[in-house]
Amino acid sequence: MTMNLAEMLPALKELSPSDKLRVVQFLMVELAREENSATLAEGSYPVWTPVGAYEAAQTLMDLVKQREQAKDKHE
């Protein structure tokens, strides 16, 4: 049995939130397969981590020190 989009939308609206998420996940995997995108199909996504970001940490520390010095001047 094949349903068109107009027939599916009311049925999708009746789903629980967790089932709606499963539908979204299913559709993403299907789209990834159709596009030959192994990254999306496997659900592997690059994520930035602050581990080893010493320059960023130093920049934040410099900003904290500047803020403290400016606060001290205004007191």
pTM, to two decimals: 0.44
User: What local confidence, expressed as pLDDT, does residue 20 receive?
Assistant: 93
User: What local confidence, expressed as pLDDT, does residue 31 receive?
Assistant: 82
Q: Which two tokens stand for residue 70?
A: 């400016």
Q: Which domain holds residue 63?
A: 5-74
User: What local confidence, expressed as pLDDT, does residue 53 receive?
Assistant: 86
Between CA 30 and CA 35, with CA 32 as vertex, the angle to 5 degrees is 110
Q: Which two tokens stand for residue 14?
A: 């009746």
User: What local confidence, expressed as pLDDT, does residue 68 receive?
Assistant: 92
* Ranges in the chain, pLDDT < 70: 1, 36-44
Residues 41 and 32: beta-carbon distance below 8 Å: yes
For the chain, how many structural domains are there in total? 1
Across the chain, how many H-helices and E-strands are there? 4, 0
User: What local confidence, expressed as pLDDT, does residue 40 receive?
Assistant: 52
